[in-house]
Amino acid sequence: MFKSQSENIGILCRGSSLLGLSDIEKNFDKCFIVNDFKNEIYHFENILKRKEIIHFVNRLSTIPLKKKTYREFNIKKVQMNIPFTLNDRVFLISYFKYLSFFLRVHTVPTKFFNEINFTNRKAYKKKFPNTGIFSIFFTCKYLNVKNIYIAGLDFYKSDYIFRTKYALPLDVQHGKFVELNLIDIFIKFIRSKNNINFYMRTNYNFSNKPDNLILI
């Protein structure tokens, strides 16, 4: 499991609010880039090459960057969003692909994954439905942070900067958030972590938010 002593960390997702990255990037030297960041990493190359980057990923084999990209950006660590298992072929394909790139691959403790397993639905027994939100939960649990800077997490109320061919329509993805109550779960979690400041650049309009969620 990846650990860090940085008090300030960035979490970069793929929504269009990521275009405001230049407004917050001076506040952190270390960041997670979340999931399929193949186009985004080069779009923000001048910023990201100055950072220590950890790739925070789900289990899918479409997510890894190219081997040369990891080298160009000096990325040495991958944090997967599920526990290690020998019973999940999809996970193992991705896991060993990262290893073949000579990356250090970390997984999530089973105990923590079970703690946040908020639904009995079979579809989410092996995964959390959103890696960006999960990365925030993970950061608060395991990293010694005081300030988290979030960009690109728009809860699918605005589109990606770069839409991949396998991405579902925006209304379908936002509908999943509503159906699973993920926004309320996110808000409740942020409120429970009142010792941490969450600075967020987002295109989502919150009707109610905790004081420690600071929109920028």
93-103 as b/e: b if 16+ CB within 10 A:
ebbebbeebeb
Rounded distance between C-alpha atoms, residue 143 and residue 186, angstroms: 18
* Region 74-86 average pLDDT: 96
pLDDT (tens digit per residue) in 60-77: 999 999 999 999 999 999
Q: Which helix (H) or strand (E) holds 130?
A: none
- Residue 41 CA to residue 21 CA, distance in Å, equals 12
Residue of higher predicted confidence among 183 and 127: 183
The answer to whether 119 touches 165, Cβ cutoff 8 Å, is no
Identify the pLDDT of residue 71.
Answer: 98
The amino acid occupying position 194 is N
Strand partners, 149: 10, 199
- Residue 12: is its pLDDT beyond 60? yes
- How much is the pLDDT for 120? 63
Please tell me the predicted confidence (pLDDT) of residue 180. Answer: 84
Most confident of the ranges 105-109, 122-126, 157-161, 179-183: 105-109
Residue pLDDT, tens place only, 123-177: 677 778 899 999 999 999 999 999 999 999 998 887 777 767 666 666 777 777 7
Whether 106 contacts 79, CB under 8 Å: yes
- Whole-number Å distance between alpha carbons of 209 and 205: 10
pLDDT of residue 179: 82
Question: In percent, how much of the chain has pLDDT > 70?
Answer: 93
Report yes or no: 33 and 41 within 8 Å, Cβ to Cβ. yes
Residue 200 to residue 124: CA distance in whole angstroms: 27
Position 19 scores a pLDDT of: 96
Tokens of 22: 């230049």
Contacts of 52 (CB under 8 A, 6+ apart): 29, 30, 31, 74
Whether the predicted pLDDT of 3 surpasses 70 = no
